[in-house]
Structure 1
Amino acid sequence: MLNKKLFSVLITGIMLCSFSSAAFAELLFTVSAGVPLQYELKDGKVAETESVSGLLMHASLPFLPGIGLEQYETKLKNNSSKQIFGSDVKLKTQIWDLFYQLPIPIIDVTVGAGFGTTKLDCTDCSSLFEEGVTTQYYAQVGFPLFVIAGIHLSHHTVFSTIKRKSDGKTYNVGGTLTAIGVSIGF
């Protein structure tokens, strides 16, 4: 009698793990790569964004916080009414992340925070501004494609300021980043 109950519990557990890739992937080393889709500045008076490009890379082990690195460039629009920084301007951002994947079956939910830098990259104004400290928090939702792979969408709230060297005036270049990516478990 005890063997029948144990056998049925074991079969049920195996079936749940087989049909829930999130539960299965938690047993594996997972790596993910993503690309930023959009960056929107919080303070629209400073500048407007034109495009964003870069790479977001993350890795995690089961039941431990994961680590990641984000490097992306945000090209600012050349708008004469808001041309504080000059022409052909990019914000270069690098952030180190610490994150945790919540143990929720069927979908992957990840929360994280990061710390890094943002600097202004332009031909005629880079030397006029100091590199700024950048922090962020983010949430990510992933959907399994196969047992060991998935696709995810993330929303990042970024806090960053850069300072002009001549007078110490600070500019808020923080905002929101939306990214998409894929993950694979080994």
Structure 2
Amino acid sequence: MKCKSFRLILFVSFLFVFNNPAIANIFISVGFPNQYILDSRVININNSNIDLNKVRLPNGQSFHLNYNFLFGFGYDNVVQEYTYNSNNNNLLASTNIYNFFVVAPIPLVKLEAGLGSGSTTFKTDSDVTDADILQYFVKIGLPIFKFGGIHVGYHKFVGSEVKLSETTLIDPNASMLSTSVSISF
């Protein structure tokens, strides 16, 4: 008798505690880059590779909007400053990308996978050039209560080598780690 009443109490308490209506929430996500690394880590001047040195951590932000368990759209902006050669010349890499992604319906985590298209602008003290790039990314999110979550992501940028000047080539391929926070409505 005690066992049956305990099971009934346990069953009813699960109904109240884990009652989760099946609704589609709109999520807004805001994030920032933690690390941005050019894959080559060099700039090619007069057929010689010169190392790039990071000045500071990357600046930037990302904004994503999605429907729960469906798809979403987003925008990423990343700015990374470098110095190169003995004169400490400056190189600024500024990336702007528009994204489309899908959300996988996995319990307890939010898995996003997406593609993006945009450009990276490379600017030195005397030259400016744009490189068309594609991005693919994966983000994993952990929910916080019912109203949002924290996400970490890995982004890969792919593009063709571009001329910064007549004697300078740079490769726009890069990778990025990001963190974001989402809120549902």
Query: Would the TM-score normalized by the shorter structure come out above 0.5?
Result: yes
AA paired with 1:124? Answer: S
Show the 5 A alignment for 1:36-55: 36-46=33-43, 47-50=52-55, 51-55=57-61
Secondary structure of 2:61's match?
A: strand
Q: Distance in 1 between matches of 2:124 and 2:167?
A: 19
Contact preservation (8 Å) 1:33, 1:56: yes
Q: 1:139 to 1:13 in 2, by over 3 A?
A: farther
Secondary structure of 1:147's match?
A: coil
Secondary structure of 1:89's match?
A: strand
Which residue number in structure 2 is paired with residue 30 of structure 1? 27
Which residue of 97, 100, 107 maps to 1:98? 100
Contact preservation (8 Å) 2:37, 2:176: yes
TM-score where L is the length of structure 2: 0.77
Contact preservation (8 Å) 2:38, 2:173: yes
Query: Percentage identity across aligned positions?
Result: 23
Q: Distance in 1 between matches of 2:168 and 2:84?
A: 21
Bigger Rg, which one: 2
Give 5+ residue unaligned stretches, structure 2: 1-10, 44-51
Show the 5 A alignment for 1:3-152: 15=18, 17=20, 27-46=24-43, 47-50=52-55, 51-76=57-82, 78-80=83-85, 87-126=89-128, 130-152=129-151
User: Which structure is higher in helix share?
Assistant: 1
Which residue number in structure 2 is paired with residue 3 of structure 1? none
Cα offsets for 1:56-90 (capped at 9, x unmatched): 110012443200000111111x2316x8xx72221
Q: Offset of 1:118 from its aligned partner? A: 0.7
What is the number of equivalent residue pairs in this alignment? Answer: 164
Q: Which 10-residue stretch deviates more, 99-108 or 159-168?
A: 159-168
Q: Offset of 1:12 from its aligned partner? A: 5.7
Which residue number in structure 2 is paired with residue 163 of structure 1? 162
Q: Distance in 2 between matches of 1:52 and 1:114?
A: 19
Secondary structure of 1:88's match?
A: strand
Q: Distance in 2 between matches of 1:49 and 1:114?
A: 25
Q: Which runs of 4+ in 1 moved over 6 A?
A: none
Q: 1:183 to 1:138 in 2, by over 3 A?
A: same
Q: Distance in 1 between matches of 2:131 and 2:19?
A: 47
Q: Offset of 1:162 from its aligned partner? A: 5.0
Contact preservation (8 Å) 1:40, 1:48: no
User: Which structure is higher in strand share?
Assistant: 2
Which residue number in structure 1 is paired with residue 176 of structure 2? 177
AA paired with 1:17? Answer: N
Q: Offset of 1:16 from its aligned partner? A: 6.5
Q: Distance in 2 between matches of 1:38 and 1:166?
A: 27
